[in-house]
Amino acid sequence: MSVQAAVERSVAKKQRGVRVQAGDRFLRGLRYVIVQAVRDGGVEYLDLLSNEKRTSILSDFRGRVLYRVKPVGGIGDDVVRLIWDIASTRLAPFDLRVTMVNRLIKAVRPEDMDKITKWVSQLKSKEEPRR
């Protein structure tokens, strides 16, 4: 058995109690996903970064590290809202949040860039970002 398979099996075992329901949002690996449907032991989800619909077996879905994201509304356009959802998720490590925000930063309008840069700076300093 490879090291990766052993790690994924261990993660899946530890996360088997995680409830996954339609509408839930997760950071799953380096992807930000919204669960669209859970049925027959399978999961359909939308990858918000690539805008692709994907399906997976529920145990495989839980086989990657999952961090639940609480959606926060009312901060401007969709990209800024997605970035804030990720940046403000306290369950995920700071480094993961910085990586995810940096993947989305290319789509930010110039007038919002100062705000996003401030959030990234706070995350890099191991501080929770503030609006």
pLDDT digits (tens, 9 = 90+) for 86-115: 999 988 899 999 999 998 888 888 999 999
pTM for this entry: 0.73
Sequence-distant (6+) residues with CB within 8 A of 118 are 129
Which one of 2.120.10, 1.10.10, 3.40.50, 2.30.30 gives the CATH number of domain 3-68?
2.30.30
Q: How far apart are CA 125 and CA 112, in angstroms?
A: 20
Query: Which position has the higher pLDDT, 6 or 73?
Result: 6
> What does the domain layout of the chain look like in residue ranges?
3-68, 78-124
Separation CA 88–CA 62 (nearest Å) = 22
Residues 6+ away with beta carbon under 8 Å from 119: 83, 84, 87, 101, 129
**Contact (CB, 8 A) for 69 and 57:** no
Give residue-wise pLDDT tens across range 22-52: 999 999 888 889 999 999 889 999 998 888 9
Q: How far apart are CA 85 and CA 30, in angstroms?
A: 14
Position 22 scores a pLDDT of 93
Percentage of the chain exceeding pLDDT 90: 42
Residue 90's contacts (CB-CB under 8 Å, 6 or more residues apart) are 128
